């Protein structure tokens, strides 16, 4: 079976700076795939290339169809949810309005999704009228996951879910990502925290200066000499 998402020789640049020099990767349906790498390796740009928030060359196929060059709104409508760096929270709006926006592209009732979201994040129902910008960093990350879930995507793109969070919260967030995956959601996650990302993912790619330097099953990468030295620190 063809992978759910396939990138072939994807290139992208910011002005004169080439950020991606031909990245190819694939994500099978139902998997969690991690993209690792140092700052400036092109992890965020890879996600942005998929969601069309940066102009790119090369081919991206999703669910057997080639993605066009429309805007990010077109990609969202195909069933790809992107939680960007900065989490994409609508800070000025309430928690509840953030969730409704998550479900924006869906028609009909969203009661079932709300119930599911409340099951994952029990605090959300009680604080639905709170202004989202006043939530703590961890809560905002959970809200971002909840918002993406409301979209009922086939593929979730996550940019550094651990950024700025205390270790306990990081564990909590990744447990929730695992739960979502167990329920059938495919996830492509970009992470600086290679340790936790490799525990979670079945497969990982290591980017170096805009290229795929290494890839393979997480277990293999965990055992790999240079990955251990550069990203795991032992």
Partner 1 sequence: MTELARKLRAVTQRRESAVSTGVSIPVVVIIAAAAVFLVIGSLSSSIFAQQTVAGLAQGAIFASLALALVLIYRATEVINFAQGEMAMASTFIAYQLTLWGLSYWAAFFAALGISFVLGVVIQLVVIRPVQHRSVIAVVIVTVGLFILIDGLVTWKWGADLKFMQAPFGNTVYHVGSVAFSRQDIGVLVVSILSVILLGILFRYTKLGLAMRAAALRPASAALVGVRVNWMLAIGWGLAAVLGAVAGLMTEPSQFLQPTMMQPILLYAFAAAVLGGLESPGGAVIGGLLLGVFLNLIGQYVGFATSELRLPIAFGVLLVVLLVKPNGLFGRKQVRRV
Residues binding partner 1 (CB under 8 A): 14-15, 17, 19, 39-45, 51, 53, 71-73, 76-77, 81-82, 84-93, 97, 100-102, 104-105, 131, 133-134, 136-137, 147, 151, 164
What are the phi and psi torsion angles at 233 (to 5°)? 75, 35
In the bound state with partner 1, the residue whose beta carbon lies nearer, of 4 and 190, is 190
Q: Which is nearer to partner 1, 3 or 37 (CB)?
A: 37
Range list of H helices, 42-166: 43-50, 72-77, 95-102, 111-120, 122-126, 137-150
Q: Cβ 80 to partner 1, closest distance in Å? A: 9
**Residue 135 phi, psi (nearest 5):** -75, 155
How many other CB atoms are found less than 10 A from the CB of residue 65? 9
32 or 190, CB closer to partner 1? Answer: 190
Give min distance, CB of 109 to partner 1, in A: 12
Evaluate whether 82 touches 76 at the Cβ level (below 8 Å): yes
Element (H, E) at 207: strand 203-208
Beta sheet of 32-37, edge-to-edge order = 80-83, 155-159, 186-190, 32-37, 203-208, 211-217
For the bound state, the minimum distance from the C-beta of residue 72 to partner 1, rounded and expressed in Å, comes to: 4
Please identify, using beta-carbon distances, which residue of 95 and 218 lies nearer to partner 1.
Answer: 95
We find the least distance from the C-beta atom of residue 197 to partner 1, in angstroms, to be: 17
Taking the least distance from each CB to partner 1, the nearer of 21 and 224 is 21
Element (H, E) at 81: strand 80-83
Closest distance to partner 1 from the beta carbon of 105 (Å): 4
């Amino acid at each position: 079976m063809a992978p759910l998402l396939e990138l072939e020789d994807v290139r992208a640049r910011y002005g004169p700076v080439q950020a991606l020099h031909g990245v190819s990767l694939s994500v099978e349906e139902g998997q969690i795939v991690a993209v690792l790498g140092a700052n400036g390796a092109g992890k965020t740009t890879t996600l942005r290339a998929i969601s069309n928030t940066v102009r790119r060359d090369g081919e991206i196929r999703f669910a057997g169809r080639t993605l066009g060059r429309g805007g990010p709104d077109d990609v969202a409508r195909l069933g790809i949810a992107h939680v960007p760096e900065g989490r994409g929270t609508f800070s000025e709006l309430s928690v509840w309005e953030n969730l409704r926006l998550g479900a924006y592209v869906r028609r009909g009732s969203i009661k079932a999704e709300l119930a599911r979201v409340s099951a994952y994040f029990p605090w959300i129902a009680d604080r639905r009228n709170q202004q989202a910008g006043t939530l703590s960093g961890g809560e905002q990350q959970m809200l971002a996951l909840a918002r993406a879930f409301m979209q009922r995507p086939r593929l979730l793109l996550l940019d550094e879910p651990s950024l700025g969070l205390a270790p306990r919260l990081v564990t909590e967030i990744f447990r929730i990502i695992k739960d979502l995956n167990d329920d059938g959601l495919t996830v492509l996650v970009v992470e600086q925290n290679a340790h936790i990302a490799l525990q979670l993912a079945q497969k990982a790619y290591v980017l170096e200066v805009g290229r795929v330097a290494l890839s393979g099953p997480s277990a293999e990468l965990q055992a790999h000499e240079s990955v251990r030295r550069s990203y795991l620190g032992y």
